[in-house]
Structure formats: structure tokens, C-alpha cells
Amino acid sequence: MKLISVAIDGPVGAGKSTVARAAAERMNFIYCDTGALYRAVGLYCKRNGVDMHDPSSIAVAMSDIKLDIRLAEGAQRIYLNGEDVSDEIRLPEISMAASVVSPVPEVRAAILVLERDIAEKNNVIMDGRDIGTVVLPNADVKIFLTAEPEIRAKRRYEELVAKGKDVTFEEVLSDLNQRDYNDSHRAAAPLRQAADAVLADTSGMDLEQSVDLVCGLIKERL
């Protein structure tokens, strides 16, 4: 039986991970949060004093990084050199670090291998910045998930506060706007909507409505 791949792209804070995870669970697909892989690389670089202004230093660091995606009770966990870093990679400073390391060709090449291997072996919903344009250009379904910047920032702020993080809405919005700019202006695989992707704006929707929208689009195109 043919395996099915779903690519969900969109800017930071659009709810890609939350929506894609819930949609995958509902449809009994594997979920792959590709952004978490870049966050893990950013975490390693921050921890080890890698010069974040020097792409060649980041590229060299990749030889010391081993990434794994494992499932624990149905949830994806990210392992960096054998350590579960799934929670630490969600800190705001690691979000920015991920935005810095993600354009480095050596980083993208290493993670691309992991991403495609997952899609080749499973029915998968994969989310990120360049899934439909670069990682899975032949995906069966492509969705560009977005929402207004202030709404995305509010969602991310509430998520961080719920986890006990000491942040302000203004800081989260500023970080989000900077990451939007970085992601859409990078030379390697910039954030953009694939020509054959359907636009899904969830600005006025709650989580359940967003998941309904995405599952509906997937079923409609299959």
C-alpha cells in the first residue's frame, strides 16, 4: 500500500506543531516536528560556545552532533547525543539559535537525510519551513498554515507562560517578527508557500477548529 506524506509549512507560532501532532494522532499517522531538530542543533551550539556568527564553525560542530527522534507514549521526543532535550529546546533563546543555524548547508543536509528517511517508512505528517518546497516536494498533500503575527505571538506567549517561563508578550512578538524575517530571507530554502500548497489561515480558530480544517484538507486531497 502506498505511503502518504503530508507537508505542513508556515511561520513561527502558527501552531504547526500542535495542529500537525493532533491531526497525525487523529489520522493514525506518524508526526515529525522538523523544527525540533534544528532547535537541537542550536542548543548544542549554544551549550558548547560555537561561534553563531560563523557558519563554518557551525558546520564543523555537526560532526559532533547525533540527533534521534523517538516516540514515547505516542509523543515525539528529541535526543541530542543520547540526551532527551525535548523541553529545553523550546526556550526562546534556543528558538533564535535554531533560526541562526538553520540556513547552514551542512546542517540542512544532515537533517534532510533524517526527514526523508522518516517519510519513506511511514504515513507521515511533517511540519517545518521548507517541507513542501524542499524536503518532500512530491508530498501527497501540502498545507501552508498561518495566522496574524499578533495572534501567533499571543499563542506562543501563553504557551511559554504555562510552562513557567519568565517572558513578556513584547519579547515574544519581537522574537517572532525577527524569526519571520530570518526564515523568509535566508539564502537556503527560505520560508515560502509551495505553488501547490493550500493556504490555511487559523487566525480566528481555536485548536479543535484548526485540526478539523487540516484533517478536512488532507481527506479532501486524498
pTM for the model: 0.77
The Cα 181–Cα 196 span in angstroms is 23
pLDDT at 74: 64
* 8 A C-beta contact, residue 21 and residue 126: no
Structural contact between residues 213 and 132, judged by C-beta atoms closer than 8 angstroms: no
Residue ranges in the chain whose pLDDT is less than 70? 74
Phi and psi at 202, nearest 5°, equal: -105, 20
Domain of 208, CATH number, reads 3.40.50.300
Q: ∠ at Cα 156 (77, 33), nearest 5°?
A: 30
Model confidence pLDDT, tens digit, residues 17-48:
899 999 999 998 989 888 899 999 999 999 99
pLDDT the model gives residue 2: 85
Question: Mind listing the pLDDT tens digit for each residue in 81-97?
Answer: 999 999 999 988 898 89
Helices (H) and strands (E) in the chain, counts: 8, 8
Query: What is the extent of the structural domain holding 186?
Result: 5-221
Give dist(CA 81, CA 83) in Å, integer: 6
Say which residue the cell 526523508 belongs to: 116
The number of domains in the chain is 1
